[in-house]
Structures are given as C-alpha cells and as structure tokens.
Amino acid sequence: MPTKQICETAMEAVADVRDGDSLLVHSFGPPQAWPTDCLLALAERGVKDLTVVCNTPAGGPTSLNILAPKKQIRKLVCSYVASPTLVTEISEQVKAGEIELEMVPQGTLIERVRAGGAGLAGFYTPTGVGTETARGKEEREFDGKRYVFERAIRADWALLQAHAADHAGNLVYRRGMRNFAPGFAMGARHTIAEVKEIVPTGSIDPENVVTPGIFVDRIVKTTTHIDVGVLRFILSSVGRVNNMEGRSVRDGGPTGLPADLMAMKAAALLRDGEYVNLGIGLPTLVSNYVEGRGVTLHAENGILGYGPFPPEGEEDVDLYNASGQLVTALPETAYFDSTVSFAMARSGRVSTVILGAFQVARNGDLANWSLPGGGGGIGGAMDLAAGGARVIAMLYQLERGGRSKLVETLDYPATALGCVTSVVTDLAWIDVVDGDFLLREIAPGVTADDVRAATGAPLRVASDCREMQFG
C-alpha cells in the first residue's frame, strides 16, 4: 500500500510549486474550507505568474485573496469574481487588467475539471447557449437541442481542504465543505490535501471515503480554524439580506413589499413536493417560508434538503448553502459534491429555480450575472437555467435610479434565453406568457397603473388580477 507524504508544515507541502504553475484551489467561496495554510505558504514563498482555477477568489483572511498583496496571480479562471458589495484586492487587480480573467459558468467549470481528471478532451453542454460564454465555441444540435463544446481543464496542482485523511490518502469531508474538492483532486497532476485531522489507515470506513488516496499525493494538518463569531459577522455583512423595508414606488407614492414578503410570495408559488434551488441574494430568504410544504431545497455546493437559517449559537461552520449562508440540516438532508449537484439541475430533476435578476425581458430572457462594463459573477445560474426548470425571478422592480428591470429586450449580458416563467417583485407577481408580461397580483397599496409605470415593456393585466396573496 503506497503511503502518502505526510508533511509537517504547509511550507513543506507546497515546496515544489513553481512560478508559472497552474493551481486548482478548492472552496466554494465562504470563509471556511479554504486550504489557507497552503495559500499562506505560497504567499510567503512569493511564487508568481500562477494560473488559478477556483469557484471564486472571495475575500478575507482565509481565501485566495492571500495571494493578492504580492500580485502572484497571472490568470484567474472562475465563475464569480466581484460584486458591488464585495470589493477585494483580486477584483481590483482584475478590473485594472493586472490579472487575466476567464469567466466560466459554475457547473461547467467543475465539469471541465472533472473531465480533465477523467482523461476526456471535453464535453457538450446546453449551459450558456446563446450567451457571451458560448462565443467562438463549437456548437452542435442533439435531439433538437443546442449544445456548446467545452474543453477539459487539467492543472499542475490541486490545493484542497478535507475533514480527515488517513495515511493512504483517503479523504472524507464534512457536510457542505466538499463542493469542488473531489473533482479538483482528480483534475491535477499533484494534489495536496490540507485536513483537520490525520487518522491511522483503517480508521475511515471504506464506505465513507469520498476521494480515494490514488488522487492524493501530500497531506498536511491545517492550523487555521474558523471562529463562528467572526464567521457570523462576515456572513451578516456580505451574505444575508438585511434590508426588510419596502421601497417607495415614486416620490410621495406607495411603498412596495419588503424583502421578507417578497420571499413569502415566491414561496407561495412553489408546489408541494418539488425540488427547488434558491439563487444568491433575495431568493435565499425563501428558505424561511417552505417548512411543512414538502419542498426540498437544493444547493450547488452539494446539499439536498436543508432548512432555514440557524439561531445564533446553533450554527455549524461546515453547513452552508451556495451563497455561503449558514443553514440547518433536516432528517432528509444529503451531502455530495458539486458535479452531482449540477447533474441534478441540468438533467431537469430540480423542478424550480428562484433567481435574482438585473433584468428580465418580456420574452423571458434573463440577465443576472454582469453589469455593463464587466465584473460580477456567473455563478451557477446558467447551469440551473439550462435544465428546463421553471425559473422564477425575484427582484426589486426598479433600479435605485428609477429604471425598470422589466424590459423589452436585455441590454445586460444574458444569463439564459427564454427561461423565466414568473417574476416576483416588490410591486407584483407577473407571469411571462406568449412573449408578454401578464400581471397576476398586485402588492397591497399599489395599483395596476403603478406597476405599468414601473415596467419598461408592455404589460397585460389578467382578468382575475387581484391583491397579492401570501399563502
């Protein structure tokens, strides 16, 4: 039995990483589950001109941002790099052109790495068809549906964090932390696992091994541990939706729904017994209003069947959704990796997706990943929309400058074409029917004329239009 190299320090583990190497760096983006010790060692060594593949560089003292001060990254391949509320050193370097950026849909990214680890050249996917991400790529039609070809990714090194490893290199993960790690372990020529615990060979039940030791070369015990109080502060400042006050439709006019009532309305549109994915931002609040409905929530980082946000003092740092928010487990909860999670979405098993949006066009085209001028993040939305699920867009109907987000045609980059079936805003519930917006329900205190004035495209009013119902 080959015994893996057990390193005393992260500096020893990354000693062979050279200038110009490519790295797969695991973490879904929250502060936890980063191979932080290895990143700190690379920063201390000053290794430069690195190509880094990750879900997102994120920010904070545990993340890829560790490599920013010395400008060690030459190219970044990721699904999310920046947001208006989270400016980091890396996002600023990308904006300044100091880091070359390749944006890839989240499910496509992990599948490209998995394909590389499986010895495949690439694959065809429906994700991104008709959008900027498909530009210049080969496209083919199978069974009447369009697909684009995506090349596999293989890297020199994978840096990942697992919960435990034995001396044979077998790895186990805990709850939501595995996400990209199993695929990344396969997709590199050399894999370094930074773990919370190293146990004797035989201590891990073979049935529980997620990453077999054949994919792991070096193991080092982490010295970085996340304090739940610090984590709580970070997530409350960048992850949760705290503004529960409605916005005025116009000066002196009525006020729209606050965020919690928007979430309650979106939850009311769900069907009992279906599988539902909640996008980042406003949609995450829907998790608080589905209890007892038989609705199973799905998260791209690899959780099926999770509950609402936990009370303070009952958080589990390894139990978080795709937005990085701490959530609760249920009796039916299952954990897996992101390749399985996106397979559930692309195959149509996830039946409804609730997404935030910058714009929705009258024909159902969706834009929710990039503002004009660049930036933003694709995340998992393109893959989620590619599986034919019912897509509900949840958004404030007007931008803060007063411009409508419901438009004739998109002028923001498209996420997916013709995918939105319903829109829940602070003013109304509107369906997309035969290429038009159809007003179904109106928020209390708001009139149909108010909704029409806040819509940048023709709006039809249903014959049975009524005041909004929340149950």
Active site residues: 300
Residue 181 to residue 211: CA distance in whole angstroms: 8
Residue 432 to residue 453: CA distance in whole angstroms: 18
Residue 67 to residue 176: CA distance in whole angstroms: 25
Sole residue written with tokens 């023709």: 458
> 50 near 72, Cβ under 8 Å?
yes
> 360 near 429, Cβ under 8 Å?
no
Residue 460 to residue 462: CA distance in whole angstroms: 7
Closest CA to 35 of 19, 3, 58: 58
CA angle 413, 427, 236 (to 5 degrees): 70
Return all residues near 87 (Cβ < 8 A) that are at least 6 apart: none
> 411 near 456, Cβ under 8 Å?
no
The full length of the chain comes to: 471
What is the radius of gyration, based on Cα positions, of the chain? 22
Q: Give, rounded to a whole angstrom, the gap between the first and last alpha carbons of the chain.
A: 60
Give the chain's largest Cα–Cα span. 75
SS3 assignment for 387-455: CCCEEEEEECCECCCCCECEECCCCCCCCECCCEEEEEECCEEEEEECCEEEEEEECCCCCHHHHHHCC
Taking the CB of residue 341, how many other CB atoms lie within 10 A of it?
27
Residue 190 to residue 5: CA distance in whole angstroms: 12
Query: Distance between alpha carbon 7 and the CA centroid of its chain, in Å?
Result: 32
> 369 near 294, Cβ under 8 Å?
no
Amino acid of residue 105: P
Amino acid of residue 330: L
> 169 near 136, Cβ under 8 Å?
no
H-helix or E-strand spanning residue 354: strand 352-355
* Six token digits for residue 214: 């054949």
SS3 12: helix
